Structures are given as structure tokens and as C-alpha cells.
A and B are shown apart, each in its own frame.
Chain A
Amino acid sequence: MIEKTVKIVNKAGLHTRPAATIVKLAAKYKSDFFIYRDGMSINGKSIIGVMTLAADIGSELKLTFDGPDEQQACEEISAYFERGFDEL
């Protein structure tokens, strides 16, 4: 299992559109993917789950990946966070 902490860097935060993209990215991989925030864990493959996260700019989230393709999944998804969901 891989753990990675990411920071929200875009102005608008984790709004509906990036939420949808994250879920779409996660769906490509076999590995389990969870997002942790304030003691809550959200399954990253669930759009309705990811939509409950109100993550503003500056907030930190812990991501975990577990499975055969965890490395690639972690790279692609955390890169998307780091690019500020392509909104920078």
C-alpha cells in the first residue's frame, strides 16, 4: 500500500468537475483508492463520496492506494492534484 499527502492548490478547491475527473482516473486502475480528510475516509472510486469532500485551497488530504497497479495510480492521481486540477 502507498500513502501520499497532497495539497489543494487551485483557487476553487475540490469542486464537482475535479471530483468527477478524479473518479474517472481512479476507475482505470484495479487498486483500491481512498481519500482521508478530518478522520473520514472516502472511497475515491465513488463520485458521490468524493463530492462530500469540501476541500478548499490549502487543505491537505491523505491518499492511499492498494493493489497491483498502486504505483501508477498514485502517480497519475497525485499529479492531477499537484497540477491544481489543471486550473492554475
Chain B
Amino acid sequence: MKSFREIYKNADNKVTGIAAAPGIVIGKAFLFSKEKLEINKTPIVNADEAINNFQEALKQSKKELNKIFGFAREKMDGVRAAIFEAQLMILDDPILLEHIRERIRNEMVQPEFVVADEISKYQELMIISHESYMKERAHDIEDIKQRIIRNLQKKRWQSKIEKNLIVVSESLTPADTLLFSRREALAFVTDHGGLTSHAAIISRSLNLPAVVGTQKATQLIKDGEQIVVDGFHGYVITNPTEVQLEFFREKQERLLILQKGLEELKNLPAKTLDGKEINIEANVDVSGEIDLVLTTGANGIGLYRTEQILNELGSFPDEKEQTEIYSKLASRMYPKILTIRAYDIGGDKFRINEYREPNPFLGLRGIRFLLENENLFKAQIRAVLKASENKNVKFMIPMITTLEEIWRSIKLIQECKSELRKEKIKFDNQMKIGIMVEVPSAAVMAKEFSDEIDFVSIGTNDLIQYLMAVDRGNDQVSNLYQEFSPVVIRTIAHIVREAKKGKVPVSICGEMAADTLAIPLLVGLGLDSLSMSPATILNAKRIIRSFDFKKAKILANECLLCKTEIDIQKKVQKFFEDNNISRTRNII
């Protein structure tokens, strides 16, 4: 059997992108392009009739958007679905609509020309702005413009879409992604977007493979041709050869067998052969992922990233909206635990447009931002407290660097509690408060910091970046981002040891927890729980269930003596061989 590397190495029919959601799919490509609508400045003879057509198109567009709004409410939270509200309001904009009608009358040209011309003027105004969010806004408006024009031309793309296709598009709006998922799309491929684009997030939540950020998929892939989407490695194969097809079919079969085998693990605990149980939890971005979390048998949510709400809303939700989101999540998870992390804003995530920091990763992010914006922080704390009513909510604070930050946060939490008590609102007075250890200073001070709180969660992505002083997104230095560096392993060991002196449980919620190779080592280092993306949980259970904790401890101790990353990797690989544990990549 060939390996993936061999298949991809010499393939001249591959399109490279970012692996955004796992899985392998072979199917027919549907090239979804919104730019195809042709607009002519054709003269008209009857203005009334043209205006009637325009009104009809508006009505139809409203009907469509309302329907999408409905799906959105079903799939997302009510609050998040509000993205579509502004779009709906544009269809009722008295100034815009009157102006369009006037121009149709005066210029006697087809309404679609006037609609395109008028709305484009506003888009240009948005695009010349330097703010990146204005460009996104222009993109949102493109959606509305195309919708009206399409309806003027009486085209309905929904009806043309067959079921079971692979959607290939430049980019996908939330509306598109939701609609396609209703048409049982098999997979998504896009030119633009990264791991946090809508297509990526929704694909993961629906368990559909996705490859995003390919730059040129829409140019290289032809409508209707057969393609293979490999969401594990981030490749699309166009017009596959017999050899390639055979390869991927066999991989699919193996994957199916693997998944069936994994499904049996759903209700089994993540227990080592000698009986040490590891708590496996899920990292969650959007509430749509909850179904997946529940089907993998995770013990709870170890990390709910609330800044994701901002990405979707484009703004800060108020206390009431947050309470709604958090309470709904908490009750769906009940009696399992929901760990809500306070907004981790800054760094590479959700920028506040007021001031461009020269060095955002070393700037106002996480708790630093929250303490500068106390009212915003307090609104979040109050909402989390309200959601804690059934005692299954924990609260976690990101980017803690000093003891003072912990004290100030706890003081604010106390303030919120006494406010709520006065207002006679119920909450869990014992709600557990934890910190993320993701900055070297917090790692060094792990003992003192954990004396103040109830639990510790290690965020490996940032911790490694800060320890190694490396931006993992920068190709020129990303080879220094070493999960198995002795620096990283020793630091994790130190955090676990120090936190355990105060009997504070330690978990890990960075991507390292999902690296199957790292699991025995992390367990051996004494971590009590691992939190990872829902799609990887069953596989992690499989691995944990195939070795002895005793042996993992020996492995960890040996690795703590190693001086280079290569030495550690070799030891870990040998551990897999010695204990006959197969890794996912080898299996499929």
C-alpha cells in the first residue's frame, strides 16, 4: 500500500490548502460562483413594470433571507443569527430603495443595472476604509446585492443544486454554508479563509471534510468533475487517476472500519491498561459542535472559547445575550461540566480597532484587556455566574502573568456575586475558578498562582510560542515551534508538580493534547485531563486504553532527561512500537 506522501509527491492534479475539517470524500464538484450573474445596461420601455419586478425581487429576497435566518436560529444561537438582521434591514432601506426606483424611472434602464450600480457605490466607500472589518462588511453587502440581482433575473440557485455534491467556492458566507449543509453537501473547498472561517467552523460542527484557503481551487476545479477531498492533509485531487481513486477508496474503507471501532469506545472510559482514568474533555468554538461532543462521550467541555462569539457577531454581546448563550450550553451539557473561558482577545485573535499594537502577542490581550475594560469583563462574569445555576459551570481566565491579575479578577467575581445576591438572582456560589497557564511567568509561579484558584489548564499553543519565542504562523521560524522540545516537556512537568503541591487539578487544552503522539507522554507527566477538538476524542481514548500508566511514567522520566527534541521524539515513537499502539496516520 502506498503512503499519502507517495500519492501526493508526484501528483500534478492536486490543489493544496489548509486541512480545516477531517475526512476523505470522493464526489462531484459543484462550482458555486456568485460572480456569474451578467448585468447589462439594457434600456426598458415600461418603468412601472420594471419597478414591479424590482419590488417582487425584494419580496423574494426577503423570503429567502428570512428562511436562512430561521435555519440560522436553529443551528446557531439566537444572538449569533443576528448577523442576518442588518442584511434584512437593507431590503427595507427607504433611502436606498427610493433612490433605485427613481433612477429606474429617470434613466429607463434595467433594474439590475441600477441595483448593482447603487449598492456598489456603498461597497466602494467601505472598501476604501482602512479597517479590515469594513472589507468584510462590503463582502456581506455583496451577498445582498447578488441576491436581489439573481431574483430580478428570476434565477434560483437553490433549486439547481443537486444533493450530495462537494461545494467549491471562492469563499462561503454563513448563509451559503448553512444552506448547503441543508442540501446534504459532502464537503467544502474554498479559495479563501482559514481555520476559523465560517466554512471551516460549520464543517467541523457538521462533521464534513473541508479544505480551505487553497487560493485557486475555483480556477483549477471544473464544475461537475470528480474530485477527492482529503480533509486530513489539506489536499484536493482533481480528476483522479485509477491508481489514486483506488488508494482513496481503500483509505475510506479503513477509515470506516476505524470509526466503527472507535464508536465502541464512546461509552468506555479513557482508562489506561493498569486502571488510571484520564478525564477527556472537548474544546468547543461554536455551539453547533455540541452534538459532536455528546456523541464522542466526552466528560465535558474543557474549553469554550467565548471570543468566537465576537467573531461571529462582529461585536460584543451584552450580558443578557451572553446569559442566553451560556445557559443554553450549560443545560445542554448538564450534568457534564462546561468550562467557559473569558474572552481571550488580542494576539492573533479578534483585534480591537482602536489602536494597532506593534507587538500584539506581547500586548493587551487576555486578562490584560479584560482588566482594562472592567465593565465588559463584569458583564461576562455576571452572565457566566447566572449560567452556573445548576452547578456544572467552571470559569477560566486566559493569559494570567502576575498574581495581581488573579487577585483583581477574583475581586471582580466577588463583586458580581454580591450584586447578583442583592438582585436575588441564583448562581453557584462555589463555581470553580481556574487560570490558563500559557505564559512562562505563570509556569514559573505555578505553585503560588494555583494556591489562589481551583484548577489550572495549560494552553500549549501559546506556552510553546512564548517559551521558544517563535511565531508558529511565520514559516521562516516555525520549525522552532517544537511540541517535544525538552524545554516544553520540562515546563509542563514543572507546572504539574507545582500545582499538585496545592492539590489543584491540571489539564491541558492546547493542540498538543490532540497530538496522538504526545498523549502517552502527557499522561506520564501526570496530567489529570486532556481537552481537545471533538473529532479527535475517540482516537485519544483508543490510545489511552492501550498502554500502562506505569510505563508512561517511566517514559516521561526518561524524556525529562533528554536534551533535544529529536531524542524525545525517538523515545516516544519507540514507546508506540514497544506497546503496539498504532497511530491514526498509519492506520488510514
A15 in contact with B95 given A48-B122, A51-B141 (CB within 8 Å): no
In the complex the two chains form, what is the Cα distance from A23 to B133 in whole Å? Answer: 20
Whether A45 contacts B94 by the Cβ 8 Å rule is yes
Question: Would you list 17 pairs from A and B whose C-beta atoms are within 8 A, ordered by A residue?
Answer: A11-B316, A15-B133, A15-B314, A17-B82, A23-B89, A24-B89, A46-B94, A46-B96, A47-B89, A47-B90, A48-B119, A49-B122, A51-B86, A51-B126, A56-B353, A57-B354, A58-B354
- CB-defined contacts of B354 to chain A, threshold 8 Å: 11, 13, 56-58
Which of A20, A49, A52, A87 lies in contact with B318, CB distance below 8 A?
A: A87
A37 CB to closest chain B CB (Å) equals: 11
Whether A88 contacts B375 by the Cβ 8 Å rule is yes
A25 on the B face (CB < 8 A) = no
A71 on the B face (CB < 8 A) = no
- CB-defined contacts of B89 to chain A, threshold 8 Å: 20, 23-24, 47
- CB-defined contacts of A46 to chain B, threshold 8 Å: 93-96
In the complex the two chains form, what is the Cα distance from A51 to B137 in whole Å? Answer: 8
A84 CB to closest chain B CB (Å) equals: 9
A57 CB to closest chain B CB (Å) equals: 5
A16 in contact with B86 given A43-B95, A56-B354, A57-B354 (CB within 8 Å): yes
In the complex the two chains form, what is the Cα distance from A55 to B489 in whole Å? Answer: 47
Whether B94 contacts A15 by the Cβ 8 Å rule is no
Whether B93 contacts A17 by the Cβ 8 Å rule is no
Contacts A47-B90, A48-B90 aside, 5 further interface pairs with beta carbons under 8 A come to: A17-B82, A17-B315, A48-B93, A48-B122, A87-B376
- CB-defined contacts of B134 to chain A, threshold 8 Å: 54
Give the B-binding residues of A (Cβ under 8 A): 11-13, 15-20, 23-24, 43, 45-49, 51-52, 54, 56-58, 86-88
- CB-defined contacts of A20 to chain B, threshold 8 Å: 85-86, 89
In the complex the two chains form, what is the Cα distance from A28 to B119 in whole Å? Answer: 25
Whether B95 contacts A19 by the Cβ 8 Å rule is no
In the complex the two chains form, what is the Cα distance from A47 to B119 in whole Å? Answer: 12
Whether B126 contacts A17 by the Cβ 8 Å rule is no
- CB-defined contacts of B375 to chain A, threshold 8 Å: 88
In the complex the two chains form, what is the Cα distance from A48 to B143 in whole Å? Answer: 13
- CB-defined contacts of B94 to chain A, threshold 8 Å: 45-46
In the complex the two chains form, what is the Cα distance from A48 to B97 in whole Å? Answer: 11
B90 CB to closest chain A CB (Å) equals: 5
- CB-defined contacts of B131 to chain A, threshold 8 Å: 54, 56
In the complex the two chains form, what is the Cα distance from A35 to B352 in whole Å? Answer: 24
- CB-defined contacts of A51 to chain B, threshold 8 Å: 86, 122, 126, 137, 141
In the complex the two chains form, what is the Cα distance from A17 to B141 in whole Å? Answer: 15
Q: B136 — nearest CB in chain A belongs to which residue?
A: A16
Q: A49 — nearest CB in chain B belongs to which residue?
A: B95
Binary interface profile of B, 560-577, with partner A (CB < 8 Å = 1, else 0)?
Answer: 000000000000000000
A17 in contact with B373 given A43-B95, A57-B354 (CB within 8 Å): no
Q: Which of B133, B134, B354 neighbours the largest number of chain A CB atoms within 10 Å of its CB?
A: B354
Interface of B is mostly: helix
B81 CB to closest chain A CB (Å) equals: 13
Whether B122 contacts A52 by the Cβ 8 Å rule is yes
Q: A10 — nearest CB in chain B belongs to which residue?
A: B316
- CB-defined contacts of B318 to chain A, threshold 8 Å: 86-87
- CB-defined contacts of A12 to chain B, threshold 8 Å: 315-316, 352-353
A48 in contact with B96 given A11-B373, A23-B89, A54-B134 (CB within 8 Å): yes
Whether B314 contacts A52 by the Cβ 8 Å rule is no
In the complex the two chains form, what is the Cα distance from A18 to B134 in whole Å? Answer: 15
In the complex the two chains form, what is the Cα distance from A58 to B354 in whole Å? Answer: 8
In the complex the two chains form, what is the Cα distance from A43 to B94 in whole Å? Answer: 10
- CB-defined contacts of B158 to chain A, threshold 8 Å: none
Q: B83 — nearest CB in chain A belongs to which residue?
A: A16
In the complex the two chains form, what is the Cα distance from A19 to B126 in whole Å? Answer: 14
In the complex the two chains form, what is the Cα distance from A17 to B134 in whole Å? Answer: 14
Whether A45 contacts B137 by the Cβ 8 Å rule is no
Whether A16 contacts B95 by the Cβ 8 Å rule is no
- CB-defined contacts of A87 to chain B, threshold 8 Å: 315-316, 318, 376
Binary interface profile of B, 93-126, with partner A (CB < 8 Å = 1, else 0)?
Answer: 1111000000000000000000000010010011
In the complex the two chains form, what is the Cα distance from A57 to B373 in whole Å? Answer: 14
Q: A27 — nearest CB in chain B belongs to which residue?
A: B94
- CB-defined contacts of B95 to chain A, threshold 8 Å: 43, 45-46, 48-49
B129 on the A face (CB < 8 A) = yes
Binary interface profile of B, 305-336, with partner A (CB < 8 Å = 1, else 0)?
Answer: 00000000111101000000000000000000
B308 CB to closest chain A CB (Å) equals: 16
- CB-defined contacts of A49 to chain B, threshold 8 Å: 93, 95-96, 122
In the complex the two chains form, what is the Cα distance from A78 to B523 in whole Å? Answer: 58
The 9 A-B residue pairs with the shortest CB-CB distance in the complex, in nearest-first order: A46-B95, A54-B129, A52-B125, A47-B89, A57-B354, A43-B95, A15-B315, A17-B315, A16-B86
A53 CB to closest chain B CB (Å) equals: 9
Whether A11 contacts B90 by the Cβ 8 Å rule is no
- CB-defined contacts of A13 to chain B, threshold 8 Å: 353-354
In the complex the two chains form, what is the Cα distance from A82 to B137 in whole Å? Answer: 24
A23 CB to closest chain B CB (Å) equals: 7
In the complex the two chains form, what is the Cα distance from A17 to B87 in whole Å? Answer: 11
- CB-defined contacts of B373 to chain A, threshold 8 Å: 11
In the complex the two chains form, what is the Cα distance from A88 to B133 in whole Å? Answer: 21
In the complex the two chains form, what is the Cα distance from A48 to B90 in whole Å? Answer: 6
Q: B82 — nearest CB in chain A belongs to which residue?
A: A17
B486 CB to closest chain A CB (Å) equals: 41
B96 CB to closest chain A CB (Å) equals: 5
Which of B126, B315, B353 lies in contact with A52, CB distance below 8 A?
A: B126
- CB-defined contacts of B82 to chain A, threshold 8 Å: 17
